[in-house]
Amino acid sequence: MSDQASSLRQARAQSHYPPSFAFFGGEGSGVSTVVGELAAALAMSGQRPLLVEHQPGNHQARRLGLPTSASFASLAISLGGVSDLLVSNRYGLSLVNLVASSEERTRMSPRLWRRLASEFAALEADNSVLLVDAPALTTDPAPLCIADNLVLVLSPDADSLTQGYASLKRLAGDYARRRFNVLVNRAQDFNEAQAVFNRLSGVAGDYLSVALRWVGFVPLDHTVRKSQTLRRPTVEAFADSEASQACRQLAQMLPRWHGPDSATQRASYLEHLLMTTKSLADLTGS
Q: Please write the tens of the pLDDT for every residue from 88-142.
A: 998 989 999 999 999 999 999 999 999 999 999 999 999 999 999 999 999 999 9
3 state SS of 247 = helix
Range of the domain at 90: 35-148+233-280
Residues 244 and 114 in one domain: yes
| Strand ranges, E, within the chain | 20-24, 49-53, 86-88, 94-97, 129-133, 149-154, 179-187, 211-219
pLDDT band for position 11 (50/70/90)? Answer: very low
Q: Both 54 and 119 in a single domain?
A: yes
- Position 282 scores a pLDDT of 85
* Residues 248 and 265 grouped into a single domain: yes
Q: For residue 283, what pLDDT band results from cuts at 50, 70 and 90?
A: confident
Residues 129 and 156 in one domain: no
Regarding whether 139 and 89 lie in a shared domain, the answer is: yes
Band the pLDDT of 266: cuts 50, 70, 90: confident
Pairing between strand 94-97 and 129-133?
unpaired
Are 185 and 215 in contact by the 8 Å Cβ rule? The answer is no
Last residue of a domain, one of 187, 220, 253: 220
Claim to verify: residue 249 and residue 158 sit in the same structural domain:
no
Of 195, 220, 245, the residue that ends a domain is 220
Q: Are 268 and 11 in contact (CB under 8 A)?
A: yes
Considering the domain architecture, whether residues 187 and 87 belong to the same structural domain is answered as no
What's this model's pTM, rounded to 2 decimal places? 0.92
Structure confidence by residue, pLDDT tens digits, 228-261: 999 999 999 999 999 999 999 999 999 999 998 8
The average pLDDT across 219-233 equals 96
Contacts with 197 (C-beta within 8 Å, 6 or more apart), sequence order: 154, 182, 184, 212, 214
The answer on pLDDT for 145 being more than 90 is: yes
Do the beta carbons of residue 42 and residue 91 sit within 8 Å? no
Mean pLDDT within 198-221: 96
Is pLDDT of 263 > 80?
no
Query: What is the tally of structural domains in the chain?
Result: 2
Confidence of residue 286 (pLDDT cuts 50, 70, 90): low
Task: Mark whether 208 and 118 lie in a shared domain.
Answer: no
Confidence of residue 55 (pLDDT cuts 50, 70, 90): very high
Average pLDDT for residues 264-281, to the nearest whole number?
A: 89
Pair (48, 86) in one structural domain: yes
At 79, is the pLDDT very low, low, confident or very high (cuts 50, 70, 90)?
Answer: confident
Is the same domain home to 144 and 155? Answer: no
